[in-house]
Amino acid sequence: MAQSQTTQRAVQTTVEVRATGHVRDALGEPKLSYTFEGDTLREFAAAFFEDYDVRDLVIAETESESTTRGWAPIDADDVPGHLRKNPDGEQTRAYARILVNGQFNENLAGFDTKLHDGDRVALVNPFMFCL
């Protein structure tokens, strides 16, 4: 009796990547199409940052990298609506952001946000000039 083999292929997703500021400079172009194995922002980030050396321009390793000096302390009980923040290790650097179809990832499902073919993922790290 012959057994049929079921080969399960990994999901591949193709997104449009947009980059601004320092990320755009490092990539050398403002937009590109990118195919990766998986369907979440977490899987996209792991693959993209392995292929393109821009992780340090976007992802904060420590709490101090995710905030900037001079921000007023916040009383979370006093903020209207929901205050959302990505967990440690998934935070962006101060001023840097990741957006999916124009929405900040922490306002979606964070790095567990599902991605679909044709979605736009923006890696934003603007130039900051102080005179």
Whole-number percent of the chain with pLDDT over 70: 71
User: Does residue 5 form part of some domain?
Assistant: no
User: Does residue 3 form part of some domain?
Assistant: no
| Confidence (pLDDT) at 44 | 98
The total number of structural domains that make up the chain: 1
CATH number of the domain that residue 77 is part of = 3.10.20.30
SS3 8: coil
Largest Cα–Cα distance in the chain? 78
pLDDT confidence of 93, banded at 50, 70, 90? confident
| Confidence (pLDDT) at 99 | 96
pLDDT at 91 over 60: yes
Q: CA-CA distance, 31 to 24, in Å (whole number)?
A: 8
Q: What is the pLDDT of residues 19-50, one digit of tens each?
A: 999 999 999 999 999 999 999 999 999 999 99
Q: CA-CA distance, 30 to 106, in Å (whole number)?
A: 23
**Boundaries of domain holding 57:** 12-125
Q: Contact, 128 vs 22, CB < 8 A?
A: no
What type of residue is 12? Q
DSSP 19-54: EEHHHHHHHTSSEEEEEEESSBHHHHHHHHHHHSS-
Q: What is the pLDDT of residues 100-119, one digit of tens each?
A: 999 999 889 999 999 999 99
Q: Give me the chain's average pLDDT, please.
A: 83
